[in-house]
Amino acid sequence: MPMLGYLRSVPILLGHPAHLLRQYPRGALRDDLLAGITVGLVLLPQALAFSLLAGLPPVMGLYAAIVASMVGALWGSSSHLHSGPTNTASIITLSVLLPIAAPGTPEFVAAAGLIAVMAGAIRVLMGLARLGLLVNFVSDSVAVGFTAGAGLLIMSNQIEPLLRIDLPPGAGLLETLLGAARQLGTAHLPSLLIGLATIVIISLWPRVTRQVPAVLVGVTAVGLASYLLGLEGRGVAVLGALPAGLPPLASLPLFNLELIGHLANGALALAIIGLVEAVAIARAVASHSRQRLDSNQEFIGQGLANIAAGFFSGYPCSGSFNRSALSYQAGAKTALGNVFSGLFVLAATFVLAPLIAHLPRAVLAGALAITAWSMVDLSAMRRLWRGDPGDALIMSVTLVATLLLPLQFAILIGVLMSLGYYLLRTSAPRVVAVLPDADFKHWAPHNGRPQCPQLAVVDILGDLYFGAVNHVEETLNEILAATPGQRFLLLRMHSVQHIDISGIRMLENLRQQLRERGGELYFTRVREPVQERMRATGFVEQLNSGQVLDEDSAIDTLFYRVIDPAVCVYECERRAFLECHSLPKRTLEGAGAPPIPLLPLEARPVPTIAPTELWAALHGTAPPLVVDVREPREFRNGHIPGATLLPLPALLSEPATLPRERRLVLVCRSGRRSTRAAALLAAQGYSNLSVLAGGLLAWEAQNLLTALGDGPDQLEHALAPVSARAPRR
C-alpha cells in the first residue's frame, strides 16, 4: 500500500474501540462481566508473580495487568486474546535489562518502562505497515525450542525464593544450579514447604474441578495458611505493602539515546516474539470460536497495550494463552470481557492490597514453577524430533541458546536459522526425472527404470529464482548426462510459482545446449504468472509455437512429430511411454541366422547437403540418386519426388546394389538413419555419399515439394525426371 494509504488507515485503526462499542451485541454484558471477573481472579496472582520474575516490584505487574488488558482488548481484533504480563515477556525483559542495571534499582525500573514503549512502537509501526504476515516466518521449531528453554529458565529462577538463598544478580542457569547445590544446607525449610505445597495444589486441583482456576486456589489457600500459621514471623519473605490507586504516569528517559541504543535489540526481540506469541494464541482460540482475525489490527492492539503499560508504570506485555483460553471458556462474547478483567484487578488493588502485602514470595515462586513447566511442550518436541531433521536441529539449537545466551540473541539465532533453512530448501528444489507409472496414467519418479533414449521428462518442484537456478541447471545436466542420447527435454512446470530473470537465463542456456545437440526444449503446465514473466522478458519470442504443450497431448505430440522413430524401432528395446507399444521392434535377422547387430554411428563426420542445394542439384545436368532409408509407410506419407526407397533394415540385412558411379544422397526423417546408412555404405566401398542435413523435416521446413505414393517405389538406377518448379518460400 502506498504511504498515503497508510496515513489514511491510521484514524480508522485508532478508532477501533468506537467501532467495538457501536457493534456491541445486546445481552452480552452479563457474559462479558462474569468472564472478566473469572479471568481477573487468575490475572491478579499472575501479575504479581510475573513482575517478580522480571526482577521488578510487584506493583508494576499490577499496573501492567490493568492497563494492557484494557488497551489490548479495545484495539485488538480478537474477542478473547488477553494481554498483560506473561512468562515469556517477563524473562526476556529480565535478560535484556540485567546488563544495564541491577534489578530493583530506579534505573532498572525506568529501563523496563522505556523498553515497553519501544517494543510497543515497533509493533504499531509493523501493524500500520501491514506486516502481519511476517510472524509466519518464525517457525514452530523456533517457538517450541524457545518456549521450552524459557520455561526451564523460569523454573531455575524460582530456586532462590523457594529455598530463600542468596544468588548473584543475573546468574545464568549453570551458575544458579551450582550456587543452589552449594547452599542447599542453608535452605529455609518453611519457604520450601510453602512453595512445594503450592505446586502440589495447583497440580492436583484440576482433578477436583476446572470451574475454579487452580492458580487462584493454590495461591489463596497456601497464602492464607501461611498467614494463619504466622510463618511470616518465622522468616518467610512476603511481598510487602503495595500502593493502592490508579496506575501513575512514569517518568521515562525517552531522550536518553545511549540507553535507547542499548535497549534496541532487546526491544526488537520483545516485539517479534511477543507478536508471534500473541497471534499464535489468538489463532488457536479463534479455531474454536470461529472468529475471523486481522493480524495487522492485532499488531496495533499489542503495540498500544505495551506503550500504555510503559507510560503508566508497567513493563512489557504480551498475550497469555491460559488467560485467553479461560476468557473463551468462561463465556466472554466480546473483547469487553478482557476489559472487565483489568477493571477487576484495579478494584482489587484497593480492596485486597493489605492482604496481598502478606502473600509469601515462595507461594508465587511455586505458582511460577508449575506454570513454567507447562511451557515445556514435550509432545511437540517429540513430533519435531521425529519429523524433519532441519526442524529438529533448529529447535535444539534454539533451546540450548535460550539456556546459555541472552534471550534476544537466542531468538535471533533461531529466526536466522529458520530463514537460512528456508532459503536452503528453496534454493535446492527437487528436480526429478519422471516416467509413466505401470498403468500409464500418472507420472512418477523413474527410480532407476530405463529412460527413453531421446526424450527426458522432468518435474521442477520449486521456484526458479536466482538462489535456485544453479542447482536446477546442474541437476538437469546430470539427468541428461545419464542418458547421453537424449536431445529433447520436456519440463513439467506446474510447481513453479515464480521465475525471475536468472531463471529465464537458465532456460535460455539450457535450450541452447539442447539445440547444439540437435534437440529442443519443451514445456507443459506453465502457470500464468510464469508465462507472463516469460512474455515480459522476451523469452516466449525465442520459442517456436509448438514448444509449450498441453499436458494431455504433450507426449503424443513429441512422439509422433519430434523424436526419431528409427531409434525407437531399431535401437531402443525400452517401452517408456504408452505410445512405444504401438511400434514394432525390428529383429533384422535372416533365415536361421542370429540377429544382425546394429552398427554404431561413425565418429567421423558424414558429408551433408542442404535442402536447397539438393533441390538445385536435382535440377542440374547430373542429378544425384536420392535414397530414402525410412519405412514404407513413412515413404507413402510423403517423400522427395523421384526418390528411391531402401529401408534401413534391408540395408542392414544384405549388401547394397546401388550404383557406385552415381552420387548418392541418403534421406530419412531427421538425418539419424541416413547417417547410419552412410556409415554402412562407406564400409561397403561407396565413397560418393552425402546425407540430407536435417532430413525430411528440414526439406519440409523449406517448403520444398514432396510426392505421395500408394506403395513403395522400386529401386531404380536412374533418377526419374523431377518437376522444374522452384522452391516455395
Q: Collapsing DSSP states into helix, strand and coil, what is residue 576?
A: coil
- Contact between 71 and 301 under an 8 Å Cβ cutoff? The reply is yes
* pLDDT tens-digit map of 297-316: 889 999 999 999 999 999 99
CATH class as words, domain 608-701: alpha beta
Least confidently predicted of 72-76, 129-133, 387-391: 129-133
- Report residue 398 as a C-alpha cell: 534454539
Q: Collapsing DSSP states into helix, strand and coil, what is residue 666?
A: strand
pLDDT at 492 over 90: yes
Q: Provide mean pLDDT across the span 199-207.
A: 89
Q: With residue 82 as reference, give the H or E element that holds it.
A: strand 82-84
pLDDT value of residue 408: 65
pLDDT at 448 over 50: yes
Q: Domain map of the chain by residue range?
A: 13-22+29-167+179-240+248-352+365-413, 430-570, 608-701
Contacts for 346 with CB less than 8 Å, ≥ 6 apart: 66, 246
Distance CA 270, CA 266 (A): 6
* pLDDT tens-digit map of 667-708: 988 787 888 788 888 888 898 999 999 899 889 888 888 887
First to last CA, the chain: 54
Q: 483 pLDDT band (50/70/90 cuts)?
A: confident
Distance CA 197, CA 205 (A): 12
Percent over 90 (pLDDT), the chain: 29
User: CA nearest 316: which of 297, 302, 336?
Assistant: 302
pLDDT value of residue 267: 92
CATH class as words, domain 430-570: alpha beta
Question: Catalytic amino acids?
Answer: 668
Contacts for 593 with CB less than 8 Å, ≥ 6 apart: none
pLDDT value of residue 643: 93
Residues in the chain: 729
Distance CA 643, CA 713 (A): 8
* pLDDT tens-digit map of 571-611: 777 778 877 776 665 544 443 434 444 444 444 567 899 99
E strand segments, 574-671: 608-609, 625-628, 644-645, 664-667
461, 463, 464, 470 alpha-carbon torsion, rounded to 10° = -60
More confident residue, 507 or 147: 507
- Contact between 418 and 137 under an 8 Å Cβ cutoff? The reply is yes
Neighbours of 260 (CB within 10 A): 17
More confident residue, 243 or 269: 269
Please tell me the number of Cα atoms within 13 Å of 42 on its side-chain side: 29
| Residue listed under C-alpha cell 512405444 | 580
Q: Provide mean pLDDT across the span 114-135.
A: 87
Strand pairing report for 455-461 and 625-628: unpaired
Q: Measure the CA angle with vertex 206, ends 73 and 188; round to 5°.
A: 95
pTM of the model: 0.62
- Contact between 198 and 222 under an 8 Å Cβ cutoff? The reply is yes
List Cα–Cα distances, 551 to 28, 442, 458, 525, in angstroms.
57, 11, 13, 6
| Per-residue H/E/C for 213-235 | CHHHHHHHHHHHHHHHHCHHHHC
Q: 718 pLDDT band (50/70/90 cuts)?
A: very low
Neighbours of 594 (CB within 10 A): 8
User: CA nearest 282: which of 534, 6, 79, 64?
Assistant: 79
Q: Provide mean pLDDT across the span 527-544.
A: 91
pLDDT at 460 over 50: yes
Q: 170 pLDDT band (50/70/90 cuts)?
A: low
Q: By 3-state DSSP, what share of the chain in percent is helix, strand and coil, each rounded to 5?
A: 55, 10, 35
